[in-house]
Structure formats: C-alpha cells, structure tokens
Amino acid sequence: MTQHFIVIGNPIAHSKSPEIHAQFAAQTGIDISYQRQYCPDDAASFTALLEAFFHGGGVGANVTVPFKQVAYACCAARGGLSEHAKVAGAVNTLWLNTALLKNGASISEAIYGDNTDGQGLVNHILSLGWPLAGARVALIGAGGAARGVILPLIQAGIGDLSIANRTVSKAEDLACELSAASDVIDAHAISTCATSELTGAFDIIINATSIGLSGETLPLADMLTAHYAYDMMYGRTLPFLQHFAARGAQTSDGYGMLIGQAALSFERWTTQKVDVAIATAALHDKALHDK
Ligand code: NDP
C-alpha cells in the first residue's frame, strides 16, 4: 500500500525533497508518494493543513521555511517533541505518536515533531572523514539553522565551540537559551563574538548564515584559519568556501546535510535505513542528466 508524505513550505516549488525521498524509496523498495505542499504563511492554515493530512491517512510530513517554529508550537501543544526539536525550538519532521494513539488520543492530539537538520549535518561531516571528537569548532550565524546544530555537535563530542554572528547579542542569547534548554550545553563553555572579531585556529568552521543568498561576503579576519570549512548552503559558488579553500582547507557545501536530514526523516517514518552515499551519487547523476 502506498504511504503518503508531504513537505510543507512557502515557497515550496524549489524543494528537492520529493526527488530525495523517491531515491530512498527506490533504494528500500517502499511504495511512497511524496508531494510538495504549498501553505499560506499563517499558523492557523498550517495547523489545519497538517491535521487534514494526518486525518486523511498521511504517514509523515517535512516542514521547511517559514513553518519550522510554527510546527514546533503545534507539536508542543499536541503529541510532543524529540529532544533535538525541543532544544532547536524548531521541527522539520512530523509523524503520529503511536503510543498516544494507543492510549486513546485523537489523531490531532498525537502529532509529534522531531528535528533532523543538526544530526544530518553531523552525519555528513563524519561521512567526509572530518574528525569531530575534541574538535575546535567555530559556528557563524545565530539563526534557526545554527540553533538546530549545536546540540548534535556537542553530542558528537566537539572540544569547544565559538559562535560568531553579525548581531553579537543574538549569539549570546542563543548560548544562554540553549544552555537553559539542555543539560549537556554549558553557556560558559561557549564563546561568542562578532563575526569580524572571530580569530584563531579552528579545526572546523561552519557557515550557518543566509549571506550566500544576498551576494554579500562575511567580514572574515586574516588571523582566522580552519582545517575544514563547511557552508550549509548548496547549489552555487560559495565565497565562504572559496575563502578557506584558498588557505588550504578542505571544504564542503550543505548538500550532504540536506540529504542527511532527509534520510533521518525517512528512517523515522519507515524504520528502514538508507544509504546516504548511494542516494547522493544517484541524485548527483540525475541532476547532471536533467541539465
Ligand atoms: P535565519 O534567517 O534564521 O538566520 C540568518 C543568519 O544569517 C543570522 O545569523 C543572520 O545574522 C545571518 N545573516 C543574514 N544576512 C547576513 C549578512 N548580510 N551578513 C552577515 N550575517 C548575515 O536563517 P537560517 O538559520 O534558517 O538559515 C541559514 C542558512 O542555512 C540558509 O542559507 C539556509 O539555506 C541554510 N540551511 C541549510 C540546510 C541544509 O540542509 N543544507 C538546513 C537548514 C538551513 P543576524 O542575526 O545578525 O541577522
């Protein structure tokens, strides 16, 4: 029987999730339908759409911009949140909490949320062979994407963390809020500064800003170095990666993170493991073929 999934966003036409999940379905032999779902940008429309989807027999949903925080609030008031979703304050993956359904909860009351973005990043970094255990990590950005990756990075055993942001107060607030939300995050062990003041030798530097969309470049200090540089953006030439590649660093864009977070969603929904490397190669070949 076909299992139904959607990705909800606004805009949504650009989403690569249907192609990625079709690849996972082909790999695992599971019969799925995975559709893009546009939603008006308001919480009431989002909640109504989600409830209608699950009442109609939907198995799982992904959520993208601008609904990740709305999805968080929706699940917090219904079927619950994973630890990663709680700490991130955002949800990208939803399904029905079967334990609650068994205890008599209605479908609407059982909608449960997880956040796989951060673990998707960690899994991708590890698959590249970049060592995280004990690593000195610099994270640039203090928005939703940065918030979502901090707990998974700390759980992966990084040594210390610096958060730099254009607006320093947002980096400071982020460190304090996450430390209050999780026992494993200690705000005192996280240093914060303005992006232009970030200096020193790091093992890994991660760009979690949306600057690549604007055509501007980050004000990076000359004394800032890293062995590995990761940009969460993908699909274009990224000045951040060019900057560090020119200084000898290994680099990666965020395409593997995108596939990694999708793989974790698929695994949560279907309990089937997927091979991310096979999916990445197949999707790369398909993209070249479609050009
Ligand atoms: P937010 O809007 O929540 O945060 C944006 C961040 O970028 C803030 O820290 C902001 O700084 C900073 N920023 C924006 N413009 C500039 C600028 N001109 N100069 C310096 N800093 C700037 O976005 P998200 O956190 O949701 O997303 C960030 C990026 O991560 C996006 O590019 C997104 O595509 C990518 N992403 C990739 C994923 C993947 O799977 N590969 C998953 C999720 C996100 P300030 O606080 O000062 O405004």
Cα-based angle 195, 200, 204 (whole degrees, multiple of 5): 80
Which pLDDT belongs to residue 214?
74
Nearest atom in ligand 1 to 216's CA = 18
| One domain, residues 128 and 19 | no
Tally of structural domains, the chain: 2
212-254 pLDDT per residue, tens: 777 789 999 999 999 999 999 998 888 999 999 999 999 999 9
Catalytic status, residue 86: no
| One domain, residues 237 and 283 | no
| One domain, residues 69 and 85 | yes
For residue 109, give the DSSP letter: G
| One domain, residues 265 and 145 | no
- Take atom 32 of ligand 1 and give the residue whose Cα is closest: 210
* Residue 187, domain extent: 119-252
- Where residue 32 sits, what CATH number does that domain have? 3.40.50.10860
- Coil/strand/helix, residue 263: helix
Measured between alpha carbons, how far is 162 from 198 in angstroms, rounded to an integer? 8
| One domain, residues 104 and 125 | no
Mean pLDDT on 2-21 = 97
- Take atom 7 of ligand 1 and give the residue whose Cα is closest: 209
| One domain, residues 197 and 240 | yes
| One domain, residues 218 and 268 | no
150-206 pLDDT per residue, tens: 999 999 999 999 999 999 999 999 999 999 999 999 988 899 999 999 999 999 999
| One domain, residues 222 and 196 | yes
| One domain, residues 57 and 87 | yes
**Cβ pair 138, 202 in contact under 8 A:** yes
Which pLDDT belongs to residue 288?
62
Residue 145 is assigned to a ligand binding site = yes
User: Cα of 151 to ligand 1 centre, how many Å?
Assistant: 18
| One domain, residues 126 and 171 | yes
Residue 165 is assigned to a ligand binding site = yes
| One domain, residues 17 and 130 | no
Alpha helices, DSSP H only, in 128-212?
144-155, 168-181
Give the residue, out of 20, 84, 210, with the most ligand 1 atoms within 8 A of its beta carbon, to mutate for a pocket test. Answer: 210
Residue 141 is assigned to a ligand binding site = yes
For residue 2, give the DSSP letter: P
| One domain, residues 69 and 128 | no
Tokens encoding 162 = 């610096």
pLDDT band at 289 (very low <50, low <70, confident <90, very high): low
Closest CA to 75 of 62, 91, 53: 91
- Where residue 211 sits, what CATH number does that domain have? 3.40.50.720
